[in-house]
Amino acid sequence: MSAALESAVTPPLRAAFIGTGGIAAQHFIALNERDDVQIVGMADLNEKLMHERCEEYGVPQAGCFTDYHAMLDALKPDLVTVCTPNSLHAPNTIASLEAGAHVVVEKPMAMTVAECRAMIAAAEKSDRELCIGFQFRYDPKTQFLLRQREAGFFGDLRFGRVWALRRRGIPNWGVFGRKELQGGGPMIDIGVHALEMCHFTMGSPKPVAATGMTDTYLGNSEASSKVHADWAGWDWETYTVEDLAVGSIRFDNGAVIHIESSFAAHHEHVGTTMDFQVMGTQGGAKWSTSELFNDANGYMMNSQPAYLPKHGWTDYFRKKLGNFIDHLRTGSPMGAPAEHGLMLQQMLEAIYASAERGGQEVLID
């Protein structure tokens, strides 16, 4: 049933926002386009921005709150989208679930594995649904590779190589350089996107152990902050996250994923280079080019699809939010369940813990 037809027979889901900053704008666009969703409220400490968002998307000013608890109590929304800094994901999500709302929370799921488990427990106790904002798994390239795995093209997937690298790409806005608010740097901010796509493509196996290394040598340097770059001039004095992180994760099926991620590193490309490769017993693939690698009739073969759908930034949010809404309305499969968010957090936490222990392997429970 189409969203338009279903909205004629079922009341629209009443949606509210906690956090109205940059990433929330994409959520607003995606939800505001749907006939089966009505945006009824927003909560943010930045009153000026919040009121501007309300006016832009036709939300009554009475729906604006600086206290998200007050918003939840007053509006009792069906759906809450959490678009706040990482340190607030868990309290925002748990409060929303306890208030009776379904929740979609931006990535990463939380700051710690313990917080993720508390969020899942709150969802189970309240009998509400919790979705994680892993939008890149809806990319046509990711979906293409997923279909190849499901069809058996790769055989047994044994290895994934993941990278999300910036030469000088420390955000000069927000709190991306503050570990106490973000939980980490490039690994938890951009590395998580490529890692979750690769893990998803490989069938979401259970992680059992990880090793890692992190280093900071550019982000906390005043001289580096003045190097000519698109995002020059970040707050180097409050910078406490890593510049570069690398890690290796083992899974219960014997597979391994290696990841490299940087905000600032001396490598060849300017801008963000995000990609992953998978290698199996029968074939392999590269995400960015949608190339497939296998043997056929005595030859090593590289092939690509003749066509994949075009995809823009807002399309990611249309698809991930649309998937969650369809799940709530029809019971269709959820594309990014909370259990996947927990596994990603386990990987990230173990890599960081290993780095703190000089690269010692850390077991994942």
**Confidence class for position 183, pLDDT limits 50, 70, 90:** confident
Give pLDDT tens digits for 244-265. 999 999 999 999 999 999 999 9
**Average pLDDT score over the chain:** 94
CA dist., res. 66 & res. 291, Å (int): 48
Averaged over 54-74, what is the pLDDT? 93
**Confidence class for position 139, pLDDT limits 50, 70, 90:** very high
Q: What is the pLDDT of residue 244?
A: 97
120-124, 158-162, 179-183, 345-349: least confidently modelled range: 179-183
4-8, 143-147, 242-246, 270-274: least confidently modelled range: 4-8
Give pLDDT tens digits for 164-173. 999 999 999 8
pLDDT over threshold 70, residue 6: no
pLDDT over threshold 80, residue 48: yes
Residue 86: strand, helix, or coil: helix
Cβ atoms of residues 243 and 218 within 8 Å = yes
Q: How far is CA 38 from CA 31, 80, 237, in A?
A: 8, 11, 42
**Confidence class for position 160, pLDDT limits 50, 70, 90:** very high
Q: What is the pLDDT of residue 8?
A: 45
Contacts of 8 (CB under 8 A, 6+ apart): none
Q: What is the pLDDT of residue 285?
A: 98
8-12, 152-156, 172-176, 345-349: least confidently modelled range: 8-12
- The proportion of the chain whose per-residue pLDDT surpasses 70, expressed as a percent, equals 98
pLDDT over threshold 50, residue 1: no
Quote the radius of gyration of the chain (alpha carbons, Å): 21
Q: What is the pLDDT of residue 4?
A: 47
3-state helix, strand, coil in the chain (%, to 5): 40, 25, 35
Q: What is the pLDDT of residue 269?
A: 87
Q: What is the pLDDT of residue 345?
A: 96
pLDDT over threshold 60, residue 333: yes
Q: What is the pLDDT of residue 330?
A: 94
At residue 224, what are phi and psi to the nearest 5 degrees? -65, -35
Encoded amino acid at 150, one letter: E
